[in-house]
Amino acid sequence: MAVFITSIVLGLHNGALYSPRHGFDGAGHVEYVEYLYKNRKIPPPTGYETHQPPLYYAIGAVLMFFTNTSKTAQYVNTFVLWMIIGVVGLGLKKVFKKRTQVLIGMFALAALPMLNIFPAMLTNELLNTFWIISATVSTLYLVSSKNKKGIVLFSLWLVVSLILGVWTKISIITVLPTVVVAFILFLLNKKSDWKTFLITETIVVFLFIVFAAPVYIRGKGSSGPTDVGRMTSKIKNMRPLDFYFRLDWIPRVDTYNTQYYSLLGGAWNSFWSDGHNAITPFVKFHKKAFVLWSLGFILLPICLYGLRLIWKVNEQATIIIYSIGAVMLGMYVVYNNISGHYSAARLTYEMGIVVPYSFGIAGASLNKKLKPLILILLTIQFIIMVSFFWILSWWHVTK
């Protein structure tokens, strides 16, 4: 409860101080919400952010109707963060059963810096992540369904997540390979009602196509932000092969800023701290950033160890968890090979990776000797993260 309250207070405090036009394309997101509020219709898909589907912005416009300021929309992501943590908790409960593993897995996400970068901002990234994760977790329940009621209920959960996801951001399609894996696993389970399943999932696919079509057609009329298009079109070599393994950042002590030359050093810095300085002021050497970065790279091997352990707990669920992790990593590689945009080096578009991360940390806590260490590391990470992200009035992001 203390973690929940502290997290909500952090989000509300930061939302109050953070200027919504900062952040990743903040101005475009603000203008989208304000357009919906003023014109009561979806804008043409030709603006910097108006090529995006409208669901998140419509929620912001509704809140703006009651307050007459787009500032209110910034508070949405504070609660979306806990929607993410909550739905992952449902998945953890399905796999582990025990309360300890569920709470540790949820705590791992509450303390994860990358997720906590976004609550203060006006952006659809967190809501998009929520639908991707919701769809993934629904498949954990669907695969183990034995009767018609369960198949229909969890298929409904899946299709609602997919439809609302595509109306939030088109990148919901990144979860589809995991959905296919789940379908195959269900059909391989001979004790399941596969006839009901085939009929139900045919309806799911049909509904998704029908509801996704308007979003796709609208988005096809736009190439997205024109300045980004111009920038990426000029880049000939996106990421060299050594981007994925070079270690020359170690003697440089270059661990505090996003690095576009190395994945291992700082390209994932926003996963562990705030490598883009999207919230925190730019500081060349920052002790808190170093602690977060160090804790992240201690927790990562613990997570990988835990992902091995959960195979013994639930094989089918583990395959789904591995699948979403592999898809997110695969998309990261693809995006870095087709785009030189600054956001490619971040995990923003692959935040579904937090699912295997949470399950891995929870799985590692099955080891009784390791569990106290995990709790200590997560507690330190959460405290430092809150301190690191607690916006002060003199920071550049408040102006």
CA 372 to centroid of chain Cα atoms:
27
Q: Alpha-carbon torsion 78, 83, 86, 91, what sign?
A: negative
Taking the C-alpha atoms of residue 203 and residue 208, their distance in angstroms, rounded to an integer, is 8
Report the sign of the C-alpha dihedral through residues 93, 97, 99, 104, in that order. Answer: negative
Give the predicted TM-score (pTM) of the model: 0.90
Residue 274 backbone dihedrals phi, psi, to 5 degrees: -140, 70
Helices 2-17 and 99-110: angle between axes, nearest 10 degrees: 20
| pLDDT number for residue 236 | 47
What pLDDT tens digit does each residue of the chain (399 aa) get?
889 999 999 999 999 999 888 766 788 888 888 888 888 888 888 777 888 898 999 998 898 888 877 788 889 999 999 999 999 999 999 999 889 999 999 999 999 998 998 898 888 989 999 999 999 999 999 998 888 888 899 999 999 999 999 999 988 999 999 999 998 888 888 677 778 888 888 888 889 899 888 888 877 766 554 444 444 444 444 678 888 888 887 777 776 677 777 777 765 667 777 777 778 775 555 788 888 888 888 999 999 999 999 998 888 999 999 999 999 999 888 888 887 666 777 778 888 999 999 999 999 999 999 999 999 999 999 999 999 899 888 888 887
343, 284 in Cβ contact below 8 A?
no
Which residue from 186, 193, 197 is spatially nearest to 316, judged by alpha carbons? 186
pLDDT, residue 393, reads 87
Backbone region of residue 193 per phi and psi (left: phi > 0; alpha: psi in -120 to 50; beta: other values): beta
Output DSSP code: residue 44. Answer: P
Write the CA distances from 333 to 109, 134, 152, 337, integer angstroms: 23, 24, 35, 6
Q: What is d(CA 36, CA 57) in angstroms, rounded to the nearest whole number?
A: 8
- Token pair, residue 213, equals 């079509």
Q: Give the pLDDT score at 47.
A: 75
pLDDT at position 14: 92
| Residue 283 contacts residue 289 (beta carbons within 8 Å) | yes
d(CA 341, CA 338): 9
Give the per-residue pLDDT at 68.
Answer: 75
**Domain total of the chain:** 1
| pLDDT for residue 223 | 52
Rounded CA-CA distance 253/85 in Å is 33
Which phi and psi angles does 232 have, rounded to 5°?
Answer: -70, -30
Backbone angles phi, psi at 335, to 5 degrees: -65, -40
Q: Which domain holds residue 234?
A: 2-398
Helices within the chain (DSSP H only): 2-17, 26-39, 55-67, 76-96, 99-110, 113-116, 125-143, 148-166, 176-188, 194-220, 226-233, 249-252, 269-272, 287-309, 315-338, 354-364, 371-389
Q: Is 50 helix (H, G, I), strand (E, B) or coil?
A: coil
Counted residue by residue, the chain has a size of: 399
